[in-house]
Amino acid sequence: MLHLRSATLSFGERTLFSDFELHVAAGQFVGLSGESGCGKTSLLRAVLGFVPLTAGSIEVCGKPLDVHHIEAIRRETSYVPQELQPPAATGADLIRLTHQLEHNIPLHGERMIASIQKALGLDQSLGELDAAKLSGGQRQRMLIAAALALHKPLMLLDEPTSALDEESTQRVALALLRACHEENQAALVVSHDPVLLAFCDKVIDLTRQS
């Protein structure tokens, strides 16, 4: 599903990680931890082709990450960044805007999205609420619901529970675990949250691996 081989990423004279190996199979929920500044977010962006590796290779869904396959890879990957402030008027618009992006074609209808939101502990009335009035945790879960509803083979999530309490974190973890184990998706989640990481099939420390 996702393979990084001998991956090295440097900015100028600073090397974030080097000769890094990562393999995420279909059906796996994998956590990526490590010290701040070690390159976790940059690694996710590298998988999407936004940050070029200094050395090594990336393969997603059997396709090498290169100019010929980048569009296909983005169509098969959903990404939930740590901080995102889309121009949404309401809570429902957060999901709607995500699904209107060029590489996103939702596979589920409104009923399935509502089911995912319920699993994440989101009241349906939040969809009508002014987006500016949503808490950071509600916004995070809205974006996670949007990603789950896309039902893409690979999900990349950057600190998806940073604004959540333990109960909400467990709900998110169970939803991601279900998507992987029951629907054969793969998820790579960057996190410092021990509650979330405890649900992962395996956790890789980028600091120690580099």
Query: pLDDT in tens for each of the 210 residues of the chain?
Result: 999 999 999 998 999 999 999 999 999 999 999 999 999 999 999 999 999 999 999 999 999 999 999 999 998 999 998 876 666 667 666 666 665 555 555 545 566 677 888 888 888 766 665 667 778 888 889 889 888 988 899 999 999 999 999 999 999 999 999 999 999 999 999 999 999 999 999 999 998 765
End-to-end CA distance of the chain, in Å? 21
Count of domains forming the chain: 1
The per-residue DSSP string of 23-43 comes to EE-TT-EEEEE--TTSSHHHH
Q: Where are the alpha helices (DSSP H) in the chain?
A: 40-47, 70-75, 91-99, 110-119, 136-150, 166-183, 194-197, 206-209
Exposed, middle or buried, 125 (CB in 10 Å: 0-12/13-18/19+)?
exposed
Asked if residue 36 lies in contact with residue 26, where contact means CB atoms within 8 angstroms, the answer is: no
Q: Are strands 55-60 and 63-64 parallel, antiparallel or unpaired?
A: antiparallel
CATH number of the domain residue 185 falls in: 3.40.50.300
Look at the pTM and tell me if it is higher than 0.85. yes
| pLDDT at residue number 111 | 63
Domain carrying residue 46: 2-209
| pLDDT at residue number 98 | 64
